[in-house]
Structure 1
Amino acid sequence: MSRISDQQSSIHASGIALPIIAFGIIVIGLIYGRPFLLPLALAIFLCNIMEAMVQGFSSVKLWDFRVPRWLATLLGLATVGLGVYLIFTVLLGQVDAINATLPRYLSRFQTIAGNLTEWLGPDRSARVRSAIAGIDVMGRLPTLIASTQSMIITVLLIIAYVAFLFVEREHVGTKIAAMFSDPRQAANVSKLLEEISHSVRRYIWFKTIVSVLTGVACYAVLRFEGVDFAETWALLIFILNYIPNIGSIIAVAFPCLLALVQFDSLKPFLVLVISLTAIQVAIGSVLEPMLMGKGLNMSPFAIILSLSFWGLIWGIVGMFLSVPILVIIMIVCAHVPSWRWIAVALSRDGSVTA
């Protein structure tokens, strides 16, 4: 009897240990496979954005004319190209303005640093000055150049991935049908992949709408207060808003810190902190849950966990991809009976449909 109980205990222990070991292997693979997996994940994400645009243009109907797919594809590529052009135009167009205002910023920063050192006392101010003097900008320049070259190579690789993935989408259904001898199983797999793509595209649309509204509202406030480079800060707010929770905090912090250096009084700083925070809270806490909660039914706590995990594994890019990856995990787990409890735990109200 004791032997049977020992066998049952060992089986139970192995049943617990195997998932833990498998999870550890997956995490190690995600960390060490980052140079390969991260560009591929970004390419899949961008490919879904392109497909969402193509489907959006394809759904346009004027009387009896419906936009064909080839024309919708060209319009989608033109939209992406226009967006990239506008981004680089905004950023490069303000280089001269940055060079012109940099001496004033440095002078203002030295004044603030002097006031801060007086408040800290002679000992601590000496430590601050020595720490600032110890920053070797020229010594880090080769590392910065190398990282820039690596980033350019990664961007070119992502573009190549997106191009080939977009072409391969036409043959996905044929490949799935050839993989499975059972037509019903092939249909289920195709339906699962389509549901994943549809949910990811829905998240992208919702988040884009929220980010555009947030960026425009913040731009109006920044322009009204006379903050320098309002266009750049609005663009940064739009981009960072794709990072759940943390992105909005960072987006508010940067222009507010600039206001401390740009203006001689604290009034613009306080106005920006209050107004930009109010915009983020109003849109992020009212409008976004109305769209995201009903559309994706994800638990806010699960979103935070996913943000922390993927940010730890893949950094800032992992934070951008955290919610789409969570959507994929939820849908896959909802379709596997033994994993359904995971989808229920990740959902907002426990309602999961497979």
Structure 2
Amino acid sequence: MSETPPTPTSLPRLLTISLGLAATGVVLWFMRDLSDILTPVFLALNLMIAAHPIFLWLTGHRVPRVLSSIITGLTTILVLVLFFWALGWAGAQLVYELPNYSDQLTELYNQVIRQLSRLGISQTQITEQLKSINPTSVLGVVQGVLTGAQGIFSLLSVVVCVILFCVMDLMGLGKRLTIVDRLHPNFGQSLRAFSKGVRGYWLVSTFFGIIVAVLDSIALALIGVPLAMAWGVLAFLTNYIPNIGFFIGLVPPALLGLLVGGPMKGLLVVVVYCVLNFVIQSLIQPKFAGDAVGVTPTVSFISLLFWAWLLGPMGALLALPFTLLVKAIFVDGDPDARWFNALIASDPDTALAPTPQAAALGDDADDDHDADPRVVQPPAARADLG
């Protein structure tokens, strides 16, 4: 009697989970170590994905593909340049405006000295404390600021370089995606969902940035803060900067409010900004951004915390696109893992949607069912059906 070969046994579930967690930890460690490269490259890819409709519109109007690619890349770089130019313009407005309030600055300084004197701190003590400051610590702060500026310049350099290389690849992107669709329909479909989600995310972020800017400008004008329109522009731009963006947009109008109307008006500006930022950017925007990307608000919030911890401030900016990329690769691209969409997708019915392969098999089955088996089809027809 011949012995039946033993059936292969799978690894114990606990061992499988442990190996998966260990591999995930190694991947996350590499990502955190490579964050200075990973985040600007991914930001550039996001910008090119967002600008891709420009390329499609130009080619649809019979503009040569080479010229369409160049225009799309230059438009993306121009948006980056305008972004940082507008930030500098808003900062320059504060510098130009402050000399007009030199008397108020002097009075504010005297008020601070009087309040400190009531607390038992004399001006002589303050002067002595200022003299005791170690110059080395001041140099450390200056060095930190310069390092941050250098980091921003390096990030922009990488982003621009990646955009230029993406321009070269843009002309053959359609053919590549067609081949991917033919060889791996599930992955091609998930790439389209990822691109659509990225464009939706940046569109939602821009839309809510405009809302915050308009409301901030109106509130500042009603409070009586000078240059309300400029601070609204600054609020719109800093809406894209995670974590510190809110404080960058708050300092100039709060300072001018303090100089124009005293502590109460400055405090009112802070309260208005905090309320608008919390309600719109922390409560409303994540819901719409999650819907645009295709994940629940809870997943949207957790992804913000996770990617900010892993990749720093740029991770917070790109949290939802990163989450969408992971979802596209490991969930949408794997038919056996699409059940997970029922837990994380904004529309749980996407977990029940048929995959491209299943739809193709269903069409083939319908064709076989409709065909009469008694009729002999010509070779060409059989080849077409195959």
Place the TM-score, normalised by the shorter chain, in its bin.
0.7 to 0.9
Q: Distance in 1 between matches of 2:347 and 2:127?
A: 51
Alignment check: 8 A CA contact 1:214 1:280 kept: yes
Whole-angstrom distance in 1 between the partners of 2:262 and 2:23:
57
Indicate if the aligned counterparts of 2:49 and 2:198 stay in contact, CA closer than 8 A.
yes
Kindly, what percent of the aligned residue pairs are identical?
20
In the TM superposition, 1:96-245 aligns within 5 A as 96-97=95-96, 100=99, 107=106, 110-111=109-110, 113-114=112-113, 117=116, 122=121, 130=129, 134=133, 136-175=137-176, 184-228=182-226, 230-242=228-240
Contact 1:248–1:280 under 8 Å retained in 2: no
**Any conservation in 1 of the 2:186–2:332 contact (CA below 8 Å)?**
no
Query: Which of 302, 305, 308 in structure 1 is aligned with 2:302?
Result: 305
Structure 1, unpaired ranges of 5+: 1-7, 60-64
Q: How far, CA to CA, are the matches of 1:71 and 1:173 in structure 2?
A: 13
Task: State the match for 2:320 in structure 1.
Answer: 323
> What letter is aligned with 2:89?
V
Give the TM-score, by structure 2 length: 0.69
Cα distance, 1:14 vs structure 2: 1.0
Amino acid at match of 2:293: L
For 2:200 and 2:68, how far apart are their aligned partners in 1? 22
Closer, same or farther in 2 for the Cα pair 1:204/1:174, shift >3 Å? same
In the other structure, the counterpart of 1:62 is none
Deviation at 1:25, TM superposition (A): 0.6
Give the AA of the match of 2:295: M
* Greater Cα shift, 343-352 or 32-41: 343-352
Relative to structure 1, the CA distance from residue 256 to residue 145 in structure 2 (aligned partners, 3 Å threshold; closer, same or farther) is: closer
Q: Which residue of 2 aligns with 1:3?
A: none
Checking the alignment, whether the CA contact within 8 Å between 1:302 and 1:346 is kept in structure 2 is yes
- Taking structure 1 as the reference length, the TM-score comes to 0.74
For residues 17-56 of structure 1, the C-alpha deviation after alignment (integer angstroms, 9 at most, x for no partner) is 112111211221111112221221121122223224445x
Q: CA deviation at 1:299?
A: 2.0
Structure 2 residue 33 is the aligned partner of structure 1 residue 32 = yes
C-alpha deviations, 1:179-231, integer Å up to 9, x for none? x7xx7434443332222111101111122122122213312332443435545
- AA at the equivalent of 1:206: V
Kept in 2, the 8 Å contact 1:331–1:343? The answer is no
Q: Distance in 2 between matches of 1:271 and 1:165?
A: 46
157-166 or 137-146: bigger deviation: 137-146
Letter in 1 for 2:190: L
Per-residue deviation at 1:256? 6.1
Return closer, same or farther for 1:151/1:283 CA change in 2, 3 Å cut-off: closer
| Runs of at least 5 residues in structure 2 that lack an aligned partner in the other structure | 1-8, 354-386
Q: Which has the larger radius of gyration?
A: 2
Asked if the contact 1:52/1:201 (under 8 Å) is kept, the reply is no
**Deviation of the 1:291 alpha carbon:** 4.4
* C-alpha distance in structure 2 between counterparts of 1:274 and 1:145, whole Å: 31
Specify whether residues 92 and 167 from structure 1 end up closer, same or farther in structure 2 by C-alpha distance, changes over 3 A only. Answer: farther
Structure 2 counterpart of 1:268, which letter?
K
Paired residue for 2:293, among 292, 296, 302? 296
CA contact (8 A) 1:108 1:262 kept: no
Query: Structure 1 residues 89 and 350, CA, compared in 2 at 3 Å: closer, same or farther?
Result: same
Number of matched pairs: 336
Which residue type is aligned with residue 17 of structure 1? S
Q: In structure 2, what is the equivalent of residue 94 of structure 1?
A: 93
- Pick closer, same or farther for the CA change 1:73–1:12 going to 2, 3 Å: same
